[in-house]
Amino acid sequence: MPEPREMISVDHLTKRYGPHTAVNDISFSVDKGQVLGFLGPNGAGKSTTMKILTTFLSPTAGRARIAGLDVWDHPLEVRRKIGYLPEDTPLYKDMAIAEYLAFVCEVRKLPRSSRKAAVRRVAEQCGIADVAGKPIGSLSRGYRQRVGLAQALVHEPDVLILDEPTSGLDPNQIVEIRQLIRDIGRDKTVILSTHILPEVNATCGRVIIISDGRLVADGKPDDLMASEKTNRYRVLYASDGGAGGAEAALDEKVVQGKLAALPGVKSATRYDSESKTLGFHVTSDGATDLRRPLFQCAVDEKWPLLELDRMEASLEEVFRRLTRNDADENAAAGAKPGASS
């Protein structure tokens, strides 16, 4: 029977802890070869969803499948299909890296003849081959994270589920792990849960955001940012009055005052720009498009306009808007009994 293209399927998934609903009727699917960023504030239901997908928790309602296998009906078969790196990487610190990975091979029931090759492969892949003989307890946080990633990959799973995989890594290691995740995602399915939003931009081709247990966004990072209405603009003028100094040099306070007085403008703030230029960040008091008024103002005042653009929304801004109520409720009420992130 051919392997399904749709490697993860979640249908109307719900998880309740008594009166609290941690995951509320979410549905999504992930194809083979896709790296999915799974985002949400603390308490939104991310970890609960991931624990259901990894068969650690049973759903209250709905279904979840890995490679066509129901996670509740076929937990052992599902576990053979997945590699899992939890946020708090559980490792046997008194074991050497190679010894620990060989133990994982045994637990995973890899053929004895292929275990040494599997350990060598993931040690090279995760950049720990040079320290394979060292005890795990002597390693830095970054290297322990690499060992955790290696154990998730040693049996060559079809689906990789990663919770904060670059936590504790230095910038160089982060770049290496990001590239590794992208490489893995070419022929495997990866779910990446992280609070580091630049990580999502650098690694994931698709993003799901959940808030208060509900799915609130699903799409490519660029598409989500492009759909977000922004009210911020950047304008840049030649401060010396233009080519050859034919016009009077611009007065910063005069320009700032006139920009701030335009209808719909909330603020006009100077930003550092290159020599002989004058730049401002301008915000509107709503969804009003200020590009035409800003351009017309420059024409009327004879200000040499070098740049005028609407600043793109960041993924962080999209995330904050979609999850603000969830975050505010968590901050006001504190941790909820039985709630999970």
The single-letter code of the amino acid at 111 is P
Torsion of CA 78, 82, 87, 88, to 10 degrees: 80
Q: What are the structure tokens assigned to 256, written together?
A: 């700032």
pLDDT at 340: 47
pLDDT at 51: 92
- The class of domain 232-310 in CATH terms is alpha beta
251 contacts 61 by C-beta, under 8 angstroms: no
Checking DSSP bridges between strand 189-193 and strand 159-163, what pairing results, if any? parallel
| Radius of gyration from C-alpha coordinates of the chain | 26
Domain coordinates of the chain in residue numbers?
Answer: 6-227, 232-310
What is the distance between the alpha carbons of residues 29 and 60, in angstroms, rounded to a whole number?
19
- Cα dist from 80 to 55, 67, 91, 160, whole Å: 11, 11, 19, 11
232-310: same fold as 6-227? Answer: no
pTM of the predicted protein model: 0.76
* Fold (CATH) for 6-227: Rossmann fold (3.40.50)
pLDDT at 328: 54
- Cα dist from 332 to 98, 326, 335, 336, whole Å: 47, 10, 9, 11
Q: How many CB atoms lie within 10 A of CB 322?
A: 19
The single-letter code of the amino acid at 326 is D
Closest by alpha carbon to 262, among 237, 291, 305? 291
pLDDT at 289: 86
* pLDDT tens across the length of the chain (341 residues): 455 578 999 999 999 999 999 999 999 999 988 999 999 998 899 989 999 999 999 999 999 999 999 999 999 999 999 999 988 778 999 999 999 999 999 999 999 999 999 999 999 988 899 999 999 999 988 889 889 999 999 999 999 999 888 877 788 878 888 888 888 888 889 999 987 888 888 899 999 999 999 999 999 998 888 777 678 899 999 998 654 445 578 999 999 999 999 999 999 999 998 889 999 999 987 767 899 999 999 999 999 999 999 887 788 888 888 887 655 555 545 544 444 45
292 contacts 170 by C-beta, under 8 angstroms: no
State the burial class of residue 40 (Cβ atoms within 10 Å of its Cβ: 0-12, 13-18, 19+).
buried
The single-letter code of the amino acid at 134 is K
State the burial class of residue 332 (Cβ atoms within 10 Å of its Cβ: 0-12, 13-18, 19+).
exposed
pLDDT at 142: 82
